C-alpha cells in the first residue's frame, strides 16, 4: 500500500513539473533585434542667391489733372447753384477738346458754412462754401496746355496738381522684369565661375516693382494774352524691377 502511494506521488510530481516546464516555455519573452538604420550620405545642396535690378524709362502719354470749382454765397442753395453752373462750363469746355465724359471723374463735393470775423474776433458775416473737385484724364498731351488754360478760364478756379503716366504700364513692367532676370542670371554665372563651380537650375525667384510717377504739384498759369501756352512737361517715367533668384551650384 505504501509503495502505491509513493508511486502516485512520484507520478503527480512528474506531471506538475511537466506542466510548469510547458508554461514557462510558452511565456518566455521573445526578443527581436530591430534593424539598424542605414547610414545615409546626402550632402546639403549648394546654392547661390543673387539679386538683379533693371530700370526702364518712357515718355508719358497720358496726364491726370485735378481741378476744383470753389464758390460761396450767403445762402447754401445759391452757392450750390453757382457751383453747378461753373462745373457745367468745365464739362462743356473739355468736350470742345475731345475729352470724353468717362475721362472726367468727380472726386469730392463738399458744402459747409464759414464765418468771417473782424480783428476782435466778432462774427461779421456767415456764408456757405461749395467745393467740387474733379480729376480729368487728358490723352492728347499736345493739347494739355490749352486744356489747362481753357478750364481755368471757364469755370474751374483751382488747379490742384498734374500727374503724368504711361497708359501701357504693364508692358514697361514686363520689360523691366526680363532685364532684371538677365542681369541676375549673368551675375550668378560670373560668381559661380569665379568660385570654380557651375551654375545649375534656378530654384526660387521673386519680383518687386517700383514705378516712379512724374508729378507736377504746381503749374504756373499763363497770362491772359498767352492763352493756350501753359508751360507743362511730362518728363520721363521710370519703372524699376528687382528680382531675387536662388540657383543650384554644381561641379564643373
Residue ranges of domains in the chain, CATH in brackets = 45-59+168-252 (3.30.110.170), 62-165 (3.30.70.2970)
pLDDT of residue 116: 87
Query: What is the pLDDT at residue 191?
Result: 92
Residue 90 pLDDT: 96
C-alpha cell recorded at residue 176? 523691366
Residue 16 corresponds to which cell in the numbers above? 506538475
The per-residue pLDDT for 109 is 94
* pLDDT at 137 (0 to 100): 96
DSSP code for 113 = E
Q: Cβ atoms within 10 A of the Cβ of 169, count?
A: 16
- Whole-number pLDDT of residue 121: 84
CA distance 252 to 247: 15
Q: What is the pLDDT of residue 120?
A: 82
Residue with cell 476744383: 68
Per-residue pLDDT of the chain (252 residues; tens, 9 = 90+): 555 555 555 554 454 455 444 444 443 444 344 455 554 555 578 899 999 999 999 989 999 999 999 999 999 999 999 999 999 999 999 999 999 999 999 999 999 999 888 888 888 889 999 999 999 999 999 999 999 999 999 999 998 889 999 988 889 999 999 999 999 999 999 999 999 999 999 999 998 888 776 655 444 443 344 444 566 666 788 899 999 999 999 987
Distances from the Cα of 122 to the Cα of 74, 118, 165, 194, angstroms: 17, 5, 49, 81
This prediction's pTM: 0.65
Amino acid at each position: 500500500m505504501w509503495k502505491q502511494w509513493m508511486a502516485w506521488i512520484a507520478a503527480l510530481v512528474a506531471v506538475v513539473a511537466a506542466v510548469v516546464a510547458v508554461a514557462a516555455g510558452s511565456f518566455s519573452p521573445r526578443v527581436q533585434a530591430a534593424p539598424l538604420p542605414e547610414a545615409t550620405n546626402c550632402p546639403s545642396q549648394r546654392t547661390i542667391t543673387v539679386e538683379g535690378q533693371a530700370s526702364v524709362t518712357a515718355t508719358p502719354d497720358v496726364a491726370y489733372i485735378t481741378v476744383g470749382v470753389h464758390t460761396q454765397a450767403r445762402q447754401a442753395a445759391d452757392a450750390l447753384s453757382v457751383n453747378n453752373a461753373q462745373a457745367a462750363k468745365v464739362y462743356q469746355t473739355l468736350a470742345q477738346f475731345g475729352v470724353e465724359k468717362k475721362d472726367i471723374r468727380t472726386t469730392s463735393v463738399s458744402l459747409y458754412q464759414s464765418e468771417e470775423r473782424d480783428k476782435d474776433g466778432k462774427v461779421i458775416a456767415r456764408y456757405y462754401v461749395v467745393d467740387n473737385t474733379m480729376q480729368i484724364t487728358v490723352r492728347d498731351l499736345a493739347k494739355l496746355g490749352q486744356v489747362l488754360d481753357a478750364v481755368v478760364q471757364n469755370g474751374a478756379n483751382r488747379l490742384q496738381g498734374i500727374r503724368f503716366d504711361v497708359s501701357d504700364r504693364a508692358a514697361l513692367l514686363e520689360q523691366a522684369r526680363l532685364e532684371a532676370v538677365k542681369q541676375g542670371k549673368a551675375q550668378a554665372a560670373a560668381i559661380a565661375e569665379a568660385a570654380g563651380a557651375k551654375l545649375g537650375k534656378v530654384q526660387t525667384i521673386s519680383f518687386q516693382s517700383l514705378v516712379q510717377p512724374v508729378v507736377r504739384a504746381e503749374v504756373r498759369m499763363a497770362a491772359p494774352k498767352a492763352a493756350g501756352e501753359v508751360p507743362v512737361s511730362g518728363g520721363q517715367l521710370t519703372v524699376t524691377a528687382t528680382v531675387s533668384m536662388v540657383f543650384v551650384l554644381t561641379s564643373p
